[in-house]
């Protein structure tokens, strides 16, 4: 059996910037002294005249991005998720979100899988923060292919975009023919017993959980929810009606993220059991990323447990 190709979504982000830079000249890239880590360094090397390093001043970088966007240019600015969404929240909200400017925030090193960087850098609150900003689009790609297609799609969006990328290399799930559409969930596997809605690196774990459940005679539907805002309400409600139970899986706090977004929709539209899998209101800590994912229960076996719980809760 051939080895599965693994690439970090942040690498897909960097590669996409270069490819898009070759095709269009209507955007600039900003970074906050982390170009080697965020992978915007690829763009800096290819197009130095269109790249600006703002130094370790993330809040200032957002203000600069807003100023440039106000002139009609599109701007992609990047830093670690903890800094882009956390430290610079006020500037993102007031300088970018409020005037609804065309700024794309490429936030890398999100979630527990930042690993050895430890609790201060393991941002599991960013989606919750960005969801509260009116008009903000939130995209969380599952693999390198989706990351590259998402960046291209983001440049066509009118208004601010928050894109979430990871440090850890993850399996490449999709081929070059994969169709990416902002705001549309993708059904990867059909099933009638329970629906697993996953985002980011948890999509691969959900696909593994599908096979484990299948061995036990449980037919799970798998949905890749790459866009968390605007959420694809239609696919969520359809899944609730047809399977009667939902599990959400995310590398983010269970408070305010994908699970909350799905629950909010179903609470109002079609109530069914919803069981959330994510980080349970705790901080992370330093350690190898794969071991942390095991420790915090962000694996296929944990999804299987939640799926069985959701099925048992059906009326």
- Catalytic positions: 58
Residue 123 forms beta bridges with which residues?
A: 110
Question: Distance between CA atoms of 254 and 187, rounded to whole angstroms?
Answer: 22
- The verdict on whether omega for the bond into residue 266 sits within 30 degrees of 0, i.e. cis, is no
Exposed/middle/buried for 14, CB within 10 Å: 0-12, 13-18, 19+?
buried
Report which of 214, 160, 225 is spatially closest to residue 192, judged by C-alpha positions.
214
């Amino acid at each position: 059996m051939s080895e599965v190709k693994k690439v970090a979504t942040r690498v897909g982000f960097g590669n996409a910037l270069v490819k898009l830079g070759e095709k269009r000249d209507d955007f600039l890239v900003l970074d906050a002294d982390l170009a080697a880590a965020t992978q915007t360094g690829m763009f800096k090397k290819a197009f130095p005249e269109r790249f600006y390093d703002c130094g370790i001043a993330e809040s200032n970088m957002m203000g600069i991005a807003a100023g440039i966007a106000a002139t009609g240019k599109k701007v992609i600015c990047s830093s670690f998720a903890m800094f882009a969404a956390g430290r610079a929240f006020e500037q993102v909200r007031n300088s970018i979100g409020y005037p609804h400017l065309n700024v794309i925030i490429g936030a890398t090193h999100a979630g527990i899988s930042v690993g050895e960087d430890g609790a201060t850098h393991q941002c599991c609150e960013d989606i919750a923060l960005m969801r509260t900003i009116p008009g903000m689009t939130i995209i969380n790609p599952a693999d390198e292919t989706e990351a590259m297609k998402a960046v291209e799609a983001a440049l066509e969006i009118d208004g601010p975009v928050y894109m979430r990328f990871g440090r850890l290399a993850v399996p490449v799930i999709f081929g070059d023919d994969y169709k990416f559409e902002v705001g549309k969930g993708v059904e990867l596997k059909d099933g009638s017993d329970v629906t697993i809605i996953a985002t980011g690196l948890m999509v691969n774990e959900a696909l593994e959980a599908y096979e484990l459940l299948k061995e036990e005679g449980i037919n799970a539907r798998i949905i890749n929810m790459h866009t968390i805002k605007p959420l694809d309400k239609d696919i969520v409600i359809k899944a609730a009606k047809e399977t009667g139970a939902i599990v959400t899986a995310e590398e983010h706090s269970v408070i305010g993220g994908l699970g909350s977004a799905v629950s909010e929709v179903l609470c109002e539209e079609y109530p069914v059991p919803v069981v959330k899998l994510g980080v349970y209101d705790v901080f992370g800590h330093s350690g190898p990323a794969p071991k942390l994912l095991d420790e915090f229960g962000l694996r296929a076996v944990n999804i299987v447990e939640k799926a069985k719980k959701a099925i048992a809760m059906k009326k």
